[in-house]
Structure 1
Amino acid sequence: MTATNPNPRRSLITKIHIARTQLGMDDESYRANLAHYGNGKTSSTDMTIPELETVLEAFKKLGFKPVKKPGKGRLSPSSKQGPQDERSAIRAIWIFMHRAGFINDGSETALNSWVQRMTAQQNGGAGINEVQWLRGEDAAKTLNSLKRWARRCLFEDLKKRGYEPHPQDSYAYLLKRWERINGAML
C-alpha cells in the first residue's frame, strides 16, 4: 500500500523551497528563477501545478537533488529498537508456529491478515490492519488469542506423538514439553 499525496501542489512548493535552500539561492536570484521558469510569476504560491513542475525541473538541472527520507521499517522480533511488548510476543509466537509447521505462511503480511480478522471479531467488524498498530487491550486480546491457538496446536501435536497432555496444561508448560521433544528441530 502506498500513501497518496492529498495536495500535490503543496508538495511541489515545499520541494521548491528545499531546492532553494540546497542551491543556496538568495531571495533575488530565487525570484528571478521563478519569474524565468514560471511565466513571470515571482511567488511559488501563485503558480499552477505545471508551472511548479517546470520550476522544480529547472532547479534539478541547476543541481538540486531531492532526498527521500527513509521510511520506517516494520519491527521484527530481533529488532533492537521499538517496544518490547505484546506486539513483539505476537510476532515471536507467529514465527514459532510457522517454524513448527503449525501455519503455512510465517510472513508479516499473513500475520497482519490474521490480526485484522481477530480484531474485527473483537471490535464488531472494524479490524486493525497491522500488528504494529495494536495497542493496549486490542494487543492483549490478540496475544491471548494467538497463545490459545498455539496451545491447541501444541496440545494436538503432543497427542499425535503419543503424549497425553492434561487439558488444563498452560501454554508455557506445553511449549516447554514440546521443545524438549522437538528441541533439535527448531
Structure 2
Amino acid sequence: MPLSKKQYSLIHVAKAKLGIDDDLYRSILANLCGVTSSTELDQAGFELLMGFFEFQGFRPMTRNGANYGPRPGMASYAQLELIRALWTEYSRGNAGESELNKWLERSFKLTSLRFLDKATAPKVITALKAMKSRAA
C-alpha cells in the first residue's frame, strides 16, 4: 500500500529537522529500507525509517490537550494549544495541566481552559509570554 501525502511530508520534515543532507538520506534509505527513494517505501519501510528518525531525536508534534470543538464565543483550539505550549515552556515541562488550571483560577478566576472565552484568551497568552520572558 503506497504512503499518503502526509507520510511523505513527515519524512521530509524529519529529514530537515535532523539536518540530514540528501546523500546521507539516500544512504539511510538504501541501507535501512532497501530502497532508493521514499516513493518506493511501503508501510513497513515507513515505520522503520520513522523509528530511525525518532532514535536520532526527531519528535513529531502531537496535540497536547482536549479539543472541545467549535464553541461560539469561546477560545479556539489553536489558542488553547498555544497556551498549553507557553505553559510548558514557562514551567520547563515540570508543571502539567492541573498546575495551569490552578494558575488560571488564581489569575483569571477560571477553573479550566475549557471555560476560557474569546475575549480573555489573548490576555492569558500575553500574561504567559510575559512570565516566560521574565523567567528567561
TM-score, normalised via structure 2 length: 0.46
TM-score calculated relative to the size of structure 1: 0.35
CA radius of gyration, larger in: 1
